[in-house]
Amino acid sequence: MTMELKDWTILSDKPTVGSVVPEEPEYTYDLFNITDSEAIVYGERRWGINLKWGDPTKSNNVRFRRESGGTEPIKFEEPIAINVRGGGYLVYQPDRWGINLGWSNTPKYEWLILGDTAGQAVPVGKAVGLYSLVEKDSLAYESRDWGINLKWFKDAGKYQKLRKLWEAGETLKDVYNYFD
């Protein structure tokens, strides 16, 4: 596995919840990004997956599922499916604008939560990593030209050409020439 990147915290609105448990059909959790200090939420956008950043105190929009259907706490490095209210199950989807993520109506167990010993229960409120078994990389916050500001760790520093042109003081014509 790649370097363990802990850029996420799983939040719950239930103060008595100590560990992340799969809940159907409830949406009890938020995937809070530590770098951006916001949670991912479903939201329409022109480019890339329909994900946006939102206030975790207003959302409770994520739930987790394990393949066995069991309801005991989710374990570190256990394959899970992640469901975002309004979108569906978060899956790897190649050839998209922005990060290669898409939606599925059925669960795809292609995510791992990293951050502690494999087999230990994932606690609420602890820094963790989200790892794609398909992409074989960790999901992290970083600005990009298209789509939500998420990247695979191996893509850090890439996909920021338009932003760099603007920051360098290029004119609108120079930016449009980038596409020719």
Written as one string, the DSSP assignment of 101-169 is EEEESS----EEEESS-TTSBPBTTSEEEEEETTTTEEEEE---SSSSSEEEGGGTT-S-HHHHHHHTT
Specify which residues 72 forms β-bridges with: none
Question: Is the model's pLDDT at 27 over the cut of 90?
Answer: no
Tell me how crowded residue 75 is: count the other CB atoms within 10 A of its CB.
Answer: 20
Angle at 15 between CA 10 and CA 18, to 5 degrees: 55
Residue positions counted in the chain: 180
The residue-averaged pLDDT of 109-126 equals 96
Position with higher pLDDT, 18 vs 59:
18
Position with higher pLDDT, 35 vs 17:
35
Angle at 165 between CA 162 and CA 170, to 5 degrees: 130
Task: Quote the CA–CA distance of 9 and 62 in Å, as a whole number.
Answer: 12
Q: Which CATH number fits domain 8-177: 3.40.50, 2.40.160, 2.30.30, 2.80.10?
A: 2.80.10
Which pLDDT does position 1 carry in this prediction?
47
CB contact at 8 A, 130 and 8:
yes
* pTM of the predicted protein model: 0.84
Longest Cα pair distance anywhere in the chain, in angstroms?
A: 57
The residue-averaged pLDDT of 67-96 equals 93
Which pLDDT does position 28 carry in this prediction?
87
Tokens of 131: 């790892």
Position with higher pLDDT, 143 vs 28:
28
Phi, psi of 122 (to 5 degrees): -80, 115
CA distances to 73, 80, 135 from 122, rounded to whole Å, are: 7, 12, 22
Mean of pLDDT over the chain: 85
Question: Is the model's pLDDT at 45 over the cut of 80?
Answer: yes
Which pLDDT does position 163 carry in this prediction?
53
Q: What sign for the dihedral angle of Cα 112, 113, 116, 120?
A: negative
pLDDT tens for each residue of 128-175: 999 999 999 999 998 777 778 888 888 776 555 545 544 556 555 554
pLDDT tens for each residue of 48-59: 899 999 998 888
